[in-house]
Amino acid sequence: MQTKPSRRKGASIMEKYSIFLVLVVMFIICSLLNKNFLSAGNLTNIARQLAVGTILAYGAMLLIISGMIDLSAGSVLALAGVLSVSFYKAAGSLVGSLLVGVLVGVVCNLVNALMVTNFSLPPFIATLAMQTIARGIALLYTKGQNILQLGDFIVFGQGEVFGVPTPIIFLVIATVVIWYILRHTRFGRSLYAIGGNEEAAVASGINVILQKYKAFIVNGILVGVAGVLFMSRVNAGLPNGAIGYEMEGLTAAIVGGTSFSGGVGTTVGTLAGSFIIGCLNNIMNLTGVDSYVQQITKGAIIALAVIYDIKSKNRKTRKVILVEEAGTEKTKG
Amino acid sequence: MKKKILSLLAAAMMVSTLFVGCNNTQQTPDTDTAGTDDTAPVADDAGAGDASGQTYRVAYIARAQADSFAAWLANEMIAEAANYDDITLDVFDGEANDEKENTMIENAITNGYDAIIIQANNGEAQRPYIEKVIAAGIVCIVTNPRVDGIEGVSSVDADPYEQAAVNARAAVDQIPENAKVVVLNGPAGNFHSVERRNAWQADCFDKRPDITIVAEDIANWNKDEAMALMEDWVIAHGTVDAIISMNDNMCAGALEVVSGKAEYANVLSYGVDGTAEACLLVEEGKMTSTALQSAIDLAALNLDAVHKLLTGEETEINVDIPAPLINADNASEYVEMYRSRGLIS
């Protein structure tokens, strides 16, 4: 059955921009449900609250695109954060403490990369192991106690630059950098290739092991920064903080269109996914929705996002098959 | 011949693991937490040894050493045990997992401990295994929280109702008329959170019907979750007069959000636990009051109780630690207590 070109174009636009349409519709509905939703203060709140989770989501996205996953993000964030805080309390250097956080994130992810590439451990298992190890180190180092009296360290998570909260500045920088990496670098393109078909990527000459290491390193930098932001936001070094945050990152990436099968995902999609979840949390808090109902709603949104992802992939696969069949018939004719 | 020797060695190693405890943490006292403390209750037998020279092996199964309070309690238990020449204490981490904790209880029974002190993760999930300890004739104490209705078990606990009530009774006179308040709760169904909330209801809200609770939600004892809720509540409800929190972490999180905001300069705030952070906040005038849940007191009473039960001095002990109110008048004492233990610099 032939479909009109205009209808095909419309369907294509819907598929490509559906996540943004959902976000726009959500903004409209939320603004009708609560008059404060669209206020500058509230939108700033949402962005500030989302900063840590979205930065984690970018790391998760890179890894999922390349066919991997990171279950250790929350634990590594905690370890990076407490060591960063400790460094600041000892040395008084903000730049140094940020670098320590990043370094810890990178080292942990290098270990992940080693386990995945050199020892061929499935990323799920390797990062699950790191989840336990990193958390254990954080607890051992702090003896399970919170580190207090952070002084000026809080500027990372609670400061402002020209009226813009610093977490939002970090988020913007991370967004631009990750977008550039994925859209305009060979490294970014290779991640899509590896995630789409690793054997074909190898055959085409991509150094898959090196690119995987790089993906984990970038993830490590993002997790380290997230750790510094998290601890400075809560004004304490919490060794048991950010439990489950890896799931927040994964959820935002998946809702934003990153596919678990690999090779698919965009930075702006992940950002939109993060905002969809953030707006949902926000409007449910503003309108006083029961916390149990909030949990059910969030779970349902994740399920719907994955169902949509699977269905749209099936549609694309059917299109490819139809086009191939049409081509075969022409040849026969 | 070589293979036979190796096989024998491997078998010997496997057999030897039966005699070694698993998931065992350190037994030596932490020098940061050891030391005298004026607020600790008197443990009459502290330092005493059994005249017959017998030593007792005691297992302490902590709920989760990832939890800062549970970690503090475990550290204090180790420090207090060092005061008893006839007690060897082994600490096990239940990792906030009922399955793991129950397994550890069973292992402790198998390993022949003379006494088992259990900090339940979920009282009902641990109940059958606590009963097994009693059935095995082993001295058993449940602590923080108590698990009611088990014959033969002793208990050392803090009363969560009283911990919140001391704050609520003060708040009745402190909260202004027609005040708007927000309430932060612990995990759903958590015994301590529920009891504390009950105390606030009975001792404050029922007595002050003019107070309006504009928002109430679960923040799971977590500072970051409380922060996110408070940020949204500030937008939704504007200025509130008081923050009522079932623990100090959540209260501190809410206070982070309103810190420095002129319209919140006089906000009242209440928590429970008497953590180091809360004591600092009360001392600085940023938090109104909290109630101490002293791991030092719990540890002292637990070791005192287990020693009396093991030496036959008592057959059953059930005791609660006090819940002193910490406010601007006495916060400095508790800050000093934490400073002496290295928890505040």
Q: Which residues of A touch B335 (CB under 8 A)?
A: none
Strands B290-291 and B325-326: antiparallel
The rounded distance, in Å, linking the Cα atoms of B104 and B99 is 9
Contacts of B68 in chain A (CB under 8 A): 144-146, 239-240
Flag whether the ipTM exceeds 0.90: no
B161-195: per-residue pLDDT in tens? 999 999 999 999 999 999 999 999 998 888 889 99
Half-sphere exposure of A91 (CA within 13 A, CB side): 14
Q: Give residue B341's pLDDT.
A: 82
Q: Which of B100, B213, B224 would you mutate first to test chain A, the one with the most A CBs within 10 A?
A: B224
Task: Answer yes or no: is pLDDT of B45 > 70.
Answer: no
In whole angstroms, give the CA distance from residue B30 to residue A32: 57
Contact between chains at B71 and A288 (C-beta distance less than 8 A): no
**Mean pLDDT value of segment A283-312:** 81
pLDDT digits (tens, 9 = 90+) for B278-326: 999 999 999 999 999 999 999 999 999 999 999 999 999 999 999 999 9
Select the more confidently predicted residue: A324 or A259.
Answer: A259
Q: What is the CATH number of the domain that holds B80?
A: 3.40.50.2300
Q: Please give the Cα distance from B273 to B164 (Å, whole number).
A: 9
How many Cβ atoms are within 10 Å of A163's Cβ, its own excluded?
6
Contact A241 B32 (CB under 8 A): no
The reported pLDDT for the residue numbered B9 is: 54
Q: Name the residue facing A286 among B32, B232, B280 (closest C-beta).
A: B232
Cβ atoms A222, A70 nearer than 8 A = no
Q: Is residue B47 part of a domain?
A: yes
Architecture of domain A42-311: Orthogonal Bundle (1.10)
Higher per-residue pLDDT: B125 or A62: A62
Confidence band of A7 (pLDDT split at 50, 70, 90): low
d(CA B76, CA B70): 10
Mean pLDDT across chain A: 89
Q: How many CA atoms lie within 13 A of B215 on its CB side?
A: 29
Q: Quote the pLDDT of residue A329.
A: 61
Same domain as B169, residue B145: no
| pLDDT at res. B177 | 96
Span B71-88, pLDDT tens digits: 889 989 999 999 999 999
Q: Which residue has the tokens 């979840």?
A: A277
Is the Cβ of A86 closer than 8 Å to some Cβ of chain B? no
For residue B89, the one-letter residue type is L
**Closest to B37 (Cα-Cα) out of B271, B308, B292, B291:** B292
Q: The pTM is what?
A: 0.82
Structure tokens at B131: 């009963």
CA–CA distance, B144 with B72 (Å, rounded to integer): 13
Question: What are φ and ψ of residue B319, in 5° steps?
Answer: -145, 145
Which of A312, A320, A317 has its CA nearest to residue A14? A312
Which of these three, B273, B291, B309, is where a domain ends?
B291
Contact assignment for A145 to B68 by CB distance below 8 Å: yes
User: Is residue B80 domain-shared with residue B171, that is, in the same domain?
Assistant: no
Query: Across the interface, do B218 and A291 touch by the CB < 8 Å criterion?
Result: yes
A139 to chain B, closest Cα gap in Å: 7
Q: Judge: A45–B231 Cβ closer than 8 Å, yes or no.
A: yes
Task: Kindly state the percentage of chain B with pLDDT values over 70.
Answer: 85
How many domains does the structure of chain B reveal?
Answer: 2
- Using an 8 Å Cβ cutoff, are B344 and B296 in contact? no
Is some CB atom of chain B closer than 8 A to the CB atom of A189?
Answer: no
Inter-chain touch A144–B68, beta carbons under 8 Å: yes
- In the numeric block, the tokens 């972490």 are attached to B249
**B223, closest residue in chain A (CA to CA):** A234
Cβ <8 Å between A281 and B228? yes
**What is the per-residue pLDDT for B5?**
56
Q: What percent of chain B has pLDDT over 90?
A: 71
Contacts of B232 in chain A (CB under 8 A): 42, 45, 282, 285-286
The whole-number pLDDT of residue A297 equals 87
In-domain check, residue B54: yes
Q: Are residues B281 and B232 in the same domain?
A: yes
Q: Measuring CA to CA, which residue among B324, B240, A283 is closest to residue B254?
A: B240
Q: Which residue, B207, B215, B206, is CA-closest to B234?
A: B215
- Assigned domain for B334 exists: no
A113 pLDDT band (50/70/90 cuts)?
A: very high
Tokens standing for residue B328: 């601007």
Considering only alpha carbons, which residue of chain A is nearest residue B250? A234
Residues B182 and B204 in one domain: yes
Question: What gap in Å lies between CA A285 and CA B242, rounded to an integer?
Answer: 18
pLDDT at residue B40 greater than cutoff 90: no
Q: Are B56 and B100 in a shared domain? A: yes
Residues B174 and B217 in one domain: yes
The rounded mean pLDDT for chain B is 86
Q: Are residues B125 and B184 in the same domain?
A: no
Q: What angle do CA A127, A130, A133 make, to 5 degrees?
A: 160
Give the chain A residue whose CA is nearest to the CA of B256: A234
Half-sphere exposure of residue A136, counting CA atoms within 13 Å on the CB side?
Answer: 11
Expressed as residue numbers, the domain containing B101 is 24-152+296-322
- The secondary structure element, H or E, covering residue A278 is helix A267-286
Q: How far is B220 from chain A (nearest CA, A)?
A: 11
| Distance from the A4 Cα atom to the nearest Cα atom in chain B, whole angstroms | 47
In a domain, B193, yes or no: yes
Q: List own/partner pairs for A24-29 with CB under 8 A and 24 or more apart.
A: A26/A276, A26/A279, A26/A280, A27/A279
* pLDDT in the model for residue A23: 87
C-alpha A105: how far from chain center: 15
Nearest to B71 among A143, A158, A242 (CB): A143
CB-based contact A34 B236, cutoff 8 Å = yes
Q: Residue range B48-52: average pLDDT?
A: 52
DSSP B284-316: TTSS-BEEB--HHHHHHHHHHHHHHHHTTS-S-
**Model pLDDT for residues B143-158, shown as the tens digit of each residue:** 988 888 899 999 999 9
B94 and B188 housed in the same domain: no
Structure confidence at residue A60 as a pLDDT band (50, 70, 90): very high
| CB spacing of A288 vs B236 below 8 angstroms | yes
Judged by a CB distance cut-off of 8 A, whether residue A45 touches chain B is: yes
Cross-chain residue pair B277–A48, CB shorter than 8 Å: no
**Cβ partners under 8 Å of residue A65, min gap 6:** A182, A191, A192, A195, A258, A262, A263, A264, A265
Is B41 a residue whose pLDDT tops 60?
no
Which residues 236-265 of chain A have a CB within 8 Å of chain B? 236, 238-242
Contacts of B156 (CB under 8 A, 6+ apart): B141, B143, B144, B298, B301, B302, B305, B317, B318, B319, B320, B321
